[in-house]
Amino acid sequence: MTSSLSALSQLKKLTTVVADTGDFERMQEYQPQDATTNPSLILKAAQQPNYQAMVNQVKAAHPGMKAADLVDYILVAFGLEILKIVPGRVSTEVDARLSFDTPGTIQKAKHLIALYESHGIDRKRVLIKLAGTWEGIQAAKALEAEGIHCNMTLLFSLVQAAACGAVNAKLISPFVGRITDWYKAKLGANWSDVNNGGANDPGVTSVKRIFNYYKHFGITTEIMGASFRNTSQILELAGCDLLTISPELLGELHAQTGSVEQKLNAASAMSEKITPLELDESSFRLQLNNDAMATEKLAEGIRNFCIDTEKLEALLNS
């Protein structure tokens, strides 16, 4: 592959590039196929002066509405603007406080889809983001059966990925950077960028393992690497179905040159010897529990999204 093209241009030939931001004004420059948001990204965007008019417009359209309910309208308002820019899909997240509530998650997801559809958006252009808990995965099973597609997030382990694949979730978002953060903190002074970076980066190897598992067993759920800390992690996953990338790292990739090689290959995964995982509720919970990194990062991720949702509610009350 020619090195005269930017790394971003080359990557787009191997992988579907997705913008990871609520700041839709910044994403236009990089022409991503899809876009993802979460409560933290929407909170960050909603606090910027250039989005105040939109936030105020939503508030004015729903006078007297509780902030907890108004959040859904804010999320969809940002999603609608994003869909004017990307040709593909936008991901919108269900309230993280419902992460252990299957019926509540289903109800909230249907409400979000109804809001999009009330604006003439086909549900195929929306992915509902759910936490990769057992309850979230069971909600995805019910929603997918009704044609509401799900993006399973806060995903840190193969057992979560396998369970999502078993219920035919449309897409999973394994979190690369947060996995690396955990191992980096655990190793402390023993961490080495030479030995633990690049192809050996623990976040990268986690996604490779999931990719090989899915392709080996013919699981059609899409894999979208997420939560990157640097461009090296991104380029090590060239060939993944999708990669969702922040505007900052999209900018770095746009400025980079040099050849980008395909690192993930479905054909090679077929020849690997891989054992299928047991995926009933008790075995899922035990396997997840026994993975300290995945358990800690999942709990931390839910906590932080809950905090940022409450901050967004407070902002709407001000």
Work out the mean pLDDT of the chain and round it to a whole number: 96
Q: Are 167 and 144 in contact (CB under 8 A)?
A: yes
Assess whether 129 carries a catalytic annotation: yes
Predicted confidence at residue 3, as pLDDT, reads 60
CA atoms within 13 A on the CB side of 63: 1
Please list, in sequence order, all residues whose beta carbon lies within 8 angstroms of the beta carbon of residue 285, skipping any fewer than 6 positions away: 134
Percent of the chain's residues with pLDDT above 70: 99
Predicted confidence at residue 82, as pLDDT, reads 95
Q: Are 1 and 257 in contact (CB under 8 A)?
A: no
* Angstrom distance (rounded) from CA 8 to CA 74: 31
For strands 126-131 and 16-20, give the pairing.
unpaired
Predicted confidence at residue 298, as pLDDT, reads 98
The residue-averaged pLDDT of 142-156 equals 98
Active-site residue, selected from the candidate residues 129, 170, 208, 297: 129
At residue 118 the predicted structure's pLDDT band, cuts being 50, 70 and 90, is very high
Q: Are 6 and 257 in contact (CB under 8 A)?
A: yes
pLDDT over 90 at 140, yes or no: yes
Q: Which domains does the chain have, with CATH numbers?
A: 7-317 (3.20.20.70)
Kindly list the distances between the CA atom of residue 76 and the CA atoms of 117, 140, 230, in Å, as whole numbers in the listed order: 10, 19, 29
Residue type, 143: L
The residue-averaged pLDDT of 262-269 equals 94
pLDDT over 90 at 5, yes or no: yes
3-state secondary structure (DSSP) of residue 63: coil
The encoded tokens of residue 257 equal: 């040159």
The encoded tokens of residue 36 equal: 């993802």
Query: Which one, of 211, 198, 197, 201, lies nearest residue 242 by Cα?
Result: 211
Predicted confidence at residue 24, as pLDDT, reads 87
CB count within 10 Å of CB 108 equals 20
**Inter-axis angle of helices 292-317 and 176-187, nearest 10:** 120
Predicted confidence at residue 278, as pLDDT, reads 87
Predicted confidence at residue 1, as pLDDT, reads 42
pLDDT over 90 at 256, yes or no: yes
**Model confidence pLDDT, tens digit, residues 196-247:** 999 999 999 999 999 999 999 999 999 999 999 999 999 999 999 999 999 9
